[in-house]
Structure 1
Amino acid sequence: MTTTMDEPVDLPLPLDRPEPRPRCGVCAALARQRAKAEAEGDYSKVSDCNIEIREHRSPHRRRRSS
C-alpha cells in the first residue's frame, strides 16, 4: 500500500479588525457585542461581530459616494 501526503493548506492572513462608523447605532451595538464577547473569551462571537460590522459598513460606503 502506497500513501502520500496531501499538499499543505494555504491559509490567508486574517482580515483587519473592522472599525464601526461614527454615529451609527447599528455599528455601535455590534462593537459593544464584540467587546463583550472578547471579554468573555468567545472568539467565535468576536468573529461573527467582525463579519457583521464589515457587511453593515457597505451601506455607509454607498451613501458616502452619492
Structure 2
Amino acid sequence: MTNVQTTPGNPLDLPVWVEPDPMPVAGCAHCDNVAMERDRARANGDASGRSDCNVRMRRHHTADH
C-alpha cells in the first residue's frame, strides 16, 4: 500500500514586494490631480483607491509623456 498525503504541505514563504508609486511629471495638471487624489486615499487608508490612482498615473504616463 502507498502512503498518500492527506494534509496540505508546509506554507510557502513569499517575499513582500511593493512597487513604488509613480511620480507625477512636473508641470502636468493631470498628474498633479491624480497624485493629490492618491494622497487623500493613502491618508484615509483606502488601499484600493491608492492602487486605482497608481494605475491611472501609469496609463497617463504611457499615453501622454
| Both structures adopt the same fold (TM-score exceeding 0.5) | yes
TM-score in terms of structure 2 length: 0.70
Aligned: 1:30 with 2:10: no
Amino acid at match of 1:19: M
Residue 16 of structure 1 deviates from its aligned partner by 1.8
Higher RCO (C-alpha 8 Å, min separation 6): 1
Residue 14 of structure 1 deviates from its aligned partner by 2.5
Q: Deviation digits for residues 17-54 of structure 1, max 9, x if unmatched?
A: 10011111110000010011111111110011011111
Amino acid at match of 1:56: H
Q: How does 1:1-66 map to 2 (within 5 A)?
A: 2=6, 5=9, 8=12, 13-59=17-63, 60=65
TM-score in terms of structure 1 length: 0.69
User: Structure 2: 5+ residue runs without aligned partners?
Assistant: 1-5
Kindly indicate which of the two structures has a greater share of residues assigned to helix.
1
Percent of aligned positions that are identical: 35
Look at both structures and tell me which one has the larger radius of gyration over its CA atoms: 2
C-alpha RMSD of the superposition: 2.2
